[in-house]
Amino acid sequence: MQSKTVQSDDLFKCTMCGDCCKGYGGTFVTREDIEAIAGYIKADHESFILKYCEMSGGKPVLAQGKNGYCVFWDKICTIHPVKPHMCRQWPFIKSVLADTDNWYVMAGQCPGIRTDVPANLIRKCVELELSKSG
Ligand code: SF4
Ligand code: SF4
- pLDDT 10s digits, 40-67: 999 999 999 999 999 988 999 999 999 9
For the stretch 97-131, pLDDT in tens is 999 999 999 999 899 999 999 999 999 999 999 99
Which protein residue has the closest C-alpha to ligand 2 atom 4? 87
Ligand 2 atom nearest residue 83's Cα: 1
Report the pLDDT value the prediction gives residue 3, as an integer from 0 to 100.
46
Query: Which ligand is the nearest neighbour of the Cα of 87?
Result: 2
Please, are residues 96 and 103 in contact by the beta-carbon 8 Å criterion? Answer: yes
